[in-house]
Structure 1
Amino acid sequence: MNEIILILISSFLILVGLVGTILPFLPGPPLSLAGLILYGWFTKFETVSILAVVIFSILTLFTFLFDIFAPALAAKGYRSSKYGAWGAVIGVLLGIVVLGPIGAFLGPFLGAFVGEFIAQRNHQVALRAAWGAFVGILIGTIFKLTITLAMLGYFIIKIIT
């Protein structure tokens, strides 16, 4: 494959992955990782190393886990009960399935809020836990963005040098 075409396709995947860190309907880090792997594969991993691919693969896996559990951990940081924390986790999963992309942001918030009501806590406590879940989503997004920017930076350095 022509190297310029390979760079363009890999760059496209990495940049779409970068957009996908903000837009929940695109799997951001996996798309960026696919761009790195594609370039590595066709260059026989002489430019993009196998070690880098393994490290970025592990970090990409962590972004998935972080997306699921960060809202619950942040809700706990805002003094949520276990019901609110579990509500945030369930909200992440159900939110995406039921509400689509907007559910990735709204689901944990609503899940933590409902969980606190099930625990028979007042609306102020429920709102604080829900806010914590939302903060967790933001932290998860920043984490994904950081990993994806690291992949982009690594790719740029490797194709320039």
Structure 2
Amino acid sequence: MSPTEFRSQIAQFTAQLAGRPLDAALDAWLNAEHGAGSPTYQQLKDACQAGVAEGWLCDREGGGIRYGRIFKPADDLHGFSVDVVEMQDIAGPHHTHPNGEIDLIMPLEGDAQFDGRPAGWLVCPPGSAHRPTVSNGRALVLYLLPEGRIDFTR
């Protein structure tokens, strides 16, 4: 897996999200069609694990969290930016999602959950805010942010 291959994989996936509202219906659809155990979920998880192992994903570290924005928003990614974080039993910095956020939760150790959700997808609507928290183990989380918008709370 290379960053170019990963970008192509993400672009094919985000094509299915283009123009859809980030709401409970999208959350339900993602978990039904691409949830834990699905081919899409496994392919994305495998790609993220390979990227971390090869050093081109989660290439920064701060406050016990490995992270990195691998792609800025772009037309081929249907306006989404792509970040991947690795967290273990920790809460990250509080922030808001002006345009919403789509998270792919990929437990690696234990019964890891992200914001209380198990393996699968979490859609945060526009204007939502949280302190992203991984509990009960270690997980990778892939973030898709429309227009790359995220506002960290001071």
Scaled by the length of structure 2, what TM-score is found? 0.29
Greater Cα radius of gyration, structure 1 or 2: 1
**Greater share of helix residues, 1 or 2?**
1
**Greater share of strand residues, 1 or 2?**
2
